[in-house]
């Protein structure tokens, strides 16, 4: 595997709407991010992914882009963006943008022109189909946010357009070379501006299995999940290879794909040397237990499920490339609320969870607030929900006869809103999210009520906080003494079959490190594969670690303890 500058870094996702509001209108903005750059540098992260800030009606929080070449006024101006890129650069930070090109917004000029003239140039930018009155829709595919993927083209009775996400997100027709040229022009325009690359949204969806056909109905709504269509689709590599050659490679851009449904044999093509992307996310843990029939049918997950998913990806990728590892993102509930057993929310358990994922082979990502141990929020009624996918899943549960109270409990646990509440900077008004609140202004989404205790100000002052532990994790990963082991070393699962223990070795040329985590209240005594030379990290500083006593090759881990040990 080729060595690249970004492999030794740590990446951080910013959800701009909820990060920091500089002008008190309740919406986080680019000037807000600029004000917090010193914070991010001191945390130790290097690569900053911004969720979309382009002009957008925000039907799907910016993942519906109306103008790829401008910033939404709610977030600021293009001048602010240029300033952000420059200020980040001064601090050695890299900005990457969100590239959303499976679809645009129905308010994008391309779509408006397609409505005006479906036969013209822009009509061919989309998937349009004629449906005469009384005829069925072209396919029975279900959109990701519920309902059919086909809607009537505004201004036309018998023309329909395809949207695999929300109806305000019409799919772009990648089969059309003219559309692809427009996309590449836009990508290069941004890279020329000085951003370091992109996180690439929902990219697997750009290739449709053609000719389109219907699939077996799998829910009460009479529709079919599009997973099968994506698996049948052949030839996405032609588009991705072209995009790499025309845009990413000439700029040596850092890119990470949001890839689901990839075929195992395609992994080297995706992230091997010279692949389509620099990296892609490991979603094996986040999709655990998920049912295509709805969130209410998801299976509960155990610590062992988590471990096997994590190792599964590691074995699949091996040394072919560098996977991107996450505990959470803006589409998921908070990792500590999802992966730790119900009711376990102590700082020790949060630190243990962080230790387990942080040192596997790949690029670790931190989602804003994760470094504080931010938790799922409190949502008391469905009216309080903002996220369109939560609203859809509530409907799905109700239609499947789940009692309303139960349906609410289930969807709230998995809601994307959990990740989208404002960042908890202080214990003061609005968790310090708004620099100066304009009269009557409130955060666009209520802050998590736990902000009085759980916030950066309090954690920065506490040496034992989750936040200070994350700083140690980052420091250790970047310690040049351990680069051979922690960045480039092999990952070897250890005691893989021991329940409630996630342990692995990272073996470099000069060092071997052992990461051990105990996922239960009770202590566990575990064998060691060799003598311990040094304890590099311990989430329970006051616990007594004497692994070498009398040459005994075993160690007692307290409940929720995490250790990083250097063997020798
Ligand atoms: O997410 C894509 C998305 O919804 C996946 O989780 C999807 O379920 C997957 O492709 C299934 O195979 C991205 C963004 O992160 C999200 O916020 C947007 O809502 C979505 O794309 C649409 O742009
Ligand atoms: Ca603002």
Task: State the pLDDT at residue 220.
Answer: 87
Task: State the pLDDT at residue 413.
Answer: 96
Question: Cα(95) to centroid of ligand 2, in Å?
Answer: 20
The answer, yes or no, to whether residue 550 has pLDDT greater than 80, is no
Q: Whose CA is nearest to atom 5 of ligand 1?
A: 202
Task: State the pLDDT at residue 115.
Answer: 98
Helix (H/G/I), strand (E/B), else coil: 425: coil
CA distance 187 to 198: 9
Q: Whose CA is nearest to atom 12 of ligand 1?
A: 260
Catalytic: 201? yes
pLDDT digits (tens, 9 = 90+) for 516-537: 999 999 999 999 999 999 999 9
Using a 6 Å cutoff on CB, does residue 202 contact ligand 1?
Answer: yes
CA distance 175 to 127: 10
Pocket test for ligand 1, best of 102, 165, 202, 387 (most atoms within 8 A of CB): 202
Q: Where are the beta strands (DSSP E) in 67-179?
A: 67-71, 94-99, 128-130, 150-152, 159-162
The answer, yes or no, to whether residue 6 has pLDDT greater than 90, is yes
CA distance 235 to 208: 9
Question: Cα(29) to centroid of ligand 2, in Å?
Answer: 5
Catalytic: 342? no
- Ligand positioned closest to the Cα atom of 18: 2
Q: Indicate which atom in ligand 1 lies nearest the CA of residue 165.
A: 22
Give me the residue label for tokens 């034992």: 464
Beta bridge partners of 514: 505, 565
Given 29, 80, 171, 258, which residue is catalytic?
Answer: 258
Q: Whose CA is nearest to atom 14 of ligand 1?
A: 201
Task: State the pLDDT at residue 261.
Answer: 82
Average pLDDT along the chain: 96
Helix (H/G/I), strand (E/B), else coil: 137: coil
In order of 357, 448, 450, 465, the CA distances from 459 in angstroms are: 22, 16, 13, 5
Q: Which of 85-94, 132-141, 193-202, 261-270 has the lowest mean pLDDT?
A: 261-270
Sketch out the chain's domains with CATH numbers: 11-102+177-383+423-466 (3.20.20.80), 488-567 (2.60.40.1180)
How many percent of the chain have pLDDT more than 90? 94
In order of 55, 160, 417, the CA distances from 69 in angstroms are: 8, 27, 28
The answer, yes or no, to whether residue 382 has pLDDT greater than 60, is yes
In order of 333, 361, 391, the CA distances from 226 in angstroms are: 23, 31, 20
More confident: 554 or 61: 61
Using a 6 Å cutoff on CB, does residue 417 contact ligand 1?
Answer: no
Say if CB 38 and CB 456 are below 8 A apart: no
Q: How far is CA 7 from the centre of its chain?
A: 18
The answer, yes or no, to whether residue 35 has pLDDT greater than 60, is yes
Using a 6 Å cutoff on CB, does residue 63 contact ligand 1?
Answer: yes
What is the torsion angle, in degrees rounded to the nearest 10, for the CA atoms of residue 459, residue 464, residue 465 and residue 470?
120
More confident: 324 or 542: 324
Q: Indicate which atom in ligand 1 lies nearest the CA of residue 388.
A: 19
- Ligand positioned closest to the Cα atom of 76: 2
Question: Cα(388) to centroid of ligand 1, in Å?
Answer: 12
pLDDT digits (tens, 9 = 90+) for 305-363: 999 999 999 999 999 999 999 999 999 999 999 999 999 999 999 999 999 999 999 99
Beta bridge partners of 555: 526
The secondary structure of the chain in percent helix, strand, coil, rounded to multiples of 5, reads 35, 15, 45
**Helical spans, DSSP H, in 318-361:** 335-339, 347-358
The answer, yes or no, to whether residue 549 has pLDDT greater than 70, is no
pLDDT digits (tens, 9 = 90+) for 436-486: 878 889 999 999 999 999 999 999 999 999 999 999 999 999 999 999 999
Question: Cα(412) to centroid of ligand 1, in Å?
Answer: 18
Angle made by CA atoms 16, 22, 27, in degrees to the nearest 5:
45
CA distance 56 to 35: 24
Those residues whose C-beta lies under 8 Å from the C-beta of residue 567, and which sit 6 or more positions away, are 505, 512, 513, 514, 528, 529, 530, 531, 532, 533
The answer, yes or no, to whether residue 548 has pLDDT greater than 70, is no
Using a 6 Å cutoff on CB, does residue 228 contact ligand 1?
Answer: no
What is the torsion angle, in degrees rounded to the nearest 10, for the CA atoms of residue 57, residue 58, residue 64 and residue 65?
60
Q: How far is CA 204 from the centre of its chain?
A: 15
Task: State the pLDDT at residue 262.
Answer: 83
Given 201, 282, 371, 387, which residue is catalytic?
Answer: 201
Using a 6 Å cutoff on CB, does residue 261 contact ligand 1?
Answer: yes
Which tokens hold the place of 523? 């202590």
Say if CB 218 and CB 225 are below 8 A apart: yes
The answer, yes or no, to whether residue 547 has pLDDT greater than 60, is no
Whole-prediction pTM: 0.97
pLDDT digits (tens, 9 = 90+) for 274-287: 999 999 999 999 99
pLDDT digits (tens, 9 = 90+) for 119-134: 999 999 999 999 999 9
The answer, yes or no, to whether residue 494 has pLDDT greater than 60, is yes
- Ligand positioned closest to the Cα atom of 170: 1
Mean pLDDT of 56-74: 98
Question: Cα(201) to centroid of ligand 2, in Å?
Answer: 25
Question: Cα(46) to centroid of ligand 2, in Å?
Answer: 24
Q: Whose CA is nearest to atom 10 of ligand 1?
A: 202
Using a 6 Å cutoff on CB, does residue 201 contact ligand 1?
Answer: yes
Mean pLDDT of 486-503: 98
């Amino acid at each position: 595997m080729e060595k690249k500058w970004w492999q030794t870094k740590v990446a951080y996702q910013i959800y701009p709407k909820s990060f920091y509001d500089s002008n008190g209108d309740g919406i986080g903005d680019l000037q807000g991010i600029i004000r917090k750059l010193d914070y991010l540098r001191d945390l130790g992260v290097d690569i900053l992914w911004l969720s979309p800030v382009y002009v957008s009606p925000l039907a799907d929080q910016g993942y519906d882009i109306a103008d790829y070449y401008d910033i939404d006024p709610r977030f600021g101006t293009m001048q602010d963006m240029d300033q952000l890129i420059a200020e980040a650069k001064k601090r050695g930070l890299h900005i990457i943008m969100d590239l959303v090109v499976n679809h645009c917004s129905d308010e994008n000029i391309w779509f408006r022109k397609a409505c005006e003239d479906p036969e013209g140039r822009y009509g061919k930018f989309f998937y349009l189909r004629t449906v005469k009155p009384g005829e069925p829709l072209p396919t029975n595919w279900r959109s990701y946010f519920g309902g059919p993927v086909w809607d009537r083209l505004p201004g036309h009775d018998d023309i329909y357009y395809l949207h695999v996400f929300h109806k305000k997100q019409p799919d772009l027709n990648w089969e059309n070379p003219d559309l692809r040229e427009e996309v590449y022009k836009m990508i290069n325009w941004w890279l020329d501006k000085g951003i370091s690359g992109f996180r690439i949204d929902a990219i697997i969806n750009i290739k449709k299995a053609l000719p389109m056909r219907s699939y077996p109905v799998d829910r009460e709504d009479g529709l079919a999940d599009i997973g099968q269509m994506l698996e049948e689709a052949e030839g996405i590599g032609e588009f991705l290879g072209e995009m790499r050659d025309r845009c990413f490679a000439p700029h040596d851009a850092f890119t990470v794909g949001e890839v689901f449904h990839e075929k195992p044999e395609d992994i080297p093509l995706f992230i091997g040397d010279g692949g389509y992307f620099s990296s892609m996310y490991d979603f094996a843990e986040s999709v655990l237990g998920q049912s295509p029939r709805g969130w209410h049918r998801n299976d509960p997950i155990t610590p062992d499920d988590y471990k096997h998913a994590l190792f599964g990806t590691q074995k699949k990728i091996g040394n072919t490339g560098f996977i991107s590892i996450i505990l959470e993102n803006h589409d998921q509930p908070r990792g500590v609320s999802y992966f730790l057993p119900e009711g376990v929310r102590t700082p020790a358990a949060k630190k243990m969870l962080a230790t387990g994922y942080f040192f596997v082979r790949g690029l670790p990502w931190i989602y804003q607030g994760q470094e504080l141990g931010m938790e799922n929020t409190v949502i008391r009624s469905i009216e309080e929900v903002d996220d369109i996918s939560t609203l859809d899943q509530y409907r799905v549960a109700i239609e499947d006869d789940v009692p309303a109270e139960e349906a609410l409990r289930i969807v709230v646990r998995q809601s994307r809103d959990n990740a989208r509440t404002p960042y908890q900077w202080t214990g003061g008004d609005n968790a310090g999210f708004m620099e100066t609140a304009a009269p009557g202004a409130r955060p666009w989404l209520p802050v998590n009520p736990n902000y009085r205790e759980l916030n950066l100000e309090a954690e920065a002052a506490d040496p034992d906080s989750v936040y200070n532990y994350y700083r140690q994790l980052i420091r250790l990963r970047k310690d040049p003494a351990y680069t051979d082991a922690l960045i480039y070393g092999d990952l070897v699962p250890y005691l893989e079959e021991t329940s409630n223990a996630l342990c692995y070795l990272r073996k470099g040329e000069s060092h071997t490190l052992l990461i051990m985590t105990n996922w239960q209240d009770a202590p566990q005594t575990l064998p060691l594969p060799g003598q311990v030379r040094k304890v590099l990290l311990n989430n329970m500083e006051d616990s007594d670690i004497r692994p070498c006593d009398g040459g005994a090759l075993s160690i007692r881990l307290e409940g929720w303890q995490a250790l990083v040990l250097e063997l020798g």
